[in-house]
Amino acid sequence: MIDLQQIIADLKASELVPVRLSDNPAADDSSFWEFEGTRDEFIATVKSLGAKAVFLIAYEFGADEFVFTRDPDDVNDEDREDDDDADEPRDVQPPLDLIAHAPALLPYKKYVGEHAMISLLARTAEANLQFDAVAHWYEAFLAIHDPIIESLNVSSEERRRLEELAREQAEEEERLAQEREEEKERASVLLELEALPLNREFQRVNTKAALSALLEETLPKAKQVLGTPEFKRRLTTLYERVQLERARKR
């Protein structure tokens, strides 16, 4: 167990001013060096370096240590930018009870509300030093807790990978189904084109322009299905075959 009041008393006894902080000023400051040694050695060191005060940050052990919450839908910012429904609320995954995954965590619930760690930070002209006083029970808790969190994060990543794979497979199946439908429609158009030279109405047409108009009226989807270049080639072939058929009947 770490005693905040005892730490404060030790600092005062060493003629250092204890200053309580609610947040860690070193979070974005790489100039803070982690002190290797005991708390007494840290106090003696920063005092010898000319420190007048030591900043204290007490971390309280909370009930949230026993739950694991997944990110909503595990959607990153790039996905949301391309998502038409990005402004709609996301489904939030229910938090997981870590004790259900590791009953060995249960005995540590009695420590909720106690200080799990107290960070001491001192700024001096030579160096900015940090010492973390960690409760022994919290170290034991983390030895159980952290592997579970890592495992659950891996599970989340695997789930995201499988979901992405399923999405890609669905898109590929949709693409292949569309291609099959397009091929089926193309085959149907070509089959109808093949029979048109025997059509009496087409045989009565004298010009290619008139044949084109009649073809677009008879098979309005032909140009869209075949595309303009192939449609024109098929129209030329059809015109030639119609002329041959008319000549054969004379």
160 and 189 inside one domain? no
Q: Residue with structure tokens 């249960």?
A: 106
Task: Say yes or no: 204 and 109 in one domain.
Answer: no
Beta bridge partners of residue 55, listed in sequence order: 19, 121
Q: Indicate the angle between helix axes 39-48 and 4-13, nearest 10 degrees.
A: 30
DSSP class of 82: T
Q: Report how many helices (DSSP H) and strands (DSSP E) the chain contains, helices first.
A: 9, 7
Question: Are residues 158 and 208 both part of a single domain?
Answer: no
Q: What is the pLDDT of residue 77?
A: 47
Of 113, 135, 170, the residue that ends a domain is 170
Report the pLDDT value the prediction gives residue 49, as an integer from 0 to 100: 87
Same domain, 92 and 137: yes
Statement to judge: residues 81 and 186 lie in one domain: no
Residue 20 β-bridge partners: 56
Per-residue pLDDT at 208: 87
Q: Closest Cα to residue 60, out of 136, 135, 8? A: 135
- Domain boundary at 136, 151, 170, which? 170
37, 156: one domain = yes
- Does one domain contain both 129 and 100? yes
Instruction: Say what the pLDDT of residue 78 is.
Output: 47
If asked whether residues 189 and 78 sit together in one domain, one would say no
- Answer whether residue 133 is part of any domain: yes
One-letter amino acid at 181 equals: E
Residues of the chain predicted below pLDDT 50: 27, 75-80
Overall domain count for the chain: 2
Dihedral of alpha carbons 71, 74, 79, 85, sign: negative
102 in any annotated domain: yes
Q: Which of 145, 170, 195 is the last residue of a domain?
A: 170
| 21 and 127, same domain (yes or no) | yes
Q: Dump the DSSP string for 117-160.
A: EEEEEEE-SS-EEEEEEE-HHHHHHHHHHHHHHHHHHHHHHHHH
Q: Is residue 137 part of a domain?
A: yes
Check whether residue 17 and residue 46 sit in a common domain: yes
Domain span holding position 223? 181-249
Judge whether 95 lies within some domain.
yes
Is 190 part of any domain?
A: yes
**Does an H or E element contain 56, and which?**
strand 53-60
Task: Give the predicted TM-score (pTM) of the model.
Answer: 0.50
Q: Per the domain annotation, does 78 fall within a domain? A: yes
Tell me the C-alpha distance between 133 and 156, whole Å: 32
pLDDT value of residue 4? 84
The answer to whether residue 175 sits within a structural domain is no
Of the candidates 140, 148, 141, which has an alpha carbon nearest to the alpha carbon of residue 62? 141
Sign of the CA dihedral 25, 26, 30, 35? positive
State how far the Cα of 150 lies from the Cα of 153, in Å rounded to an integer: 5
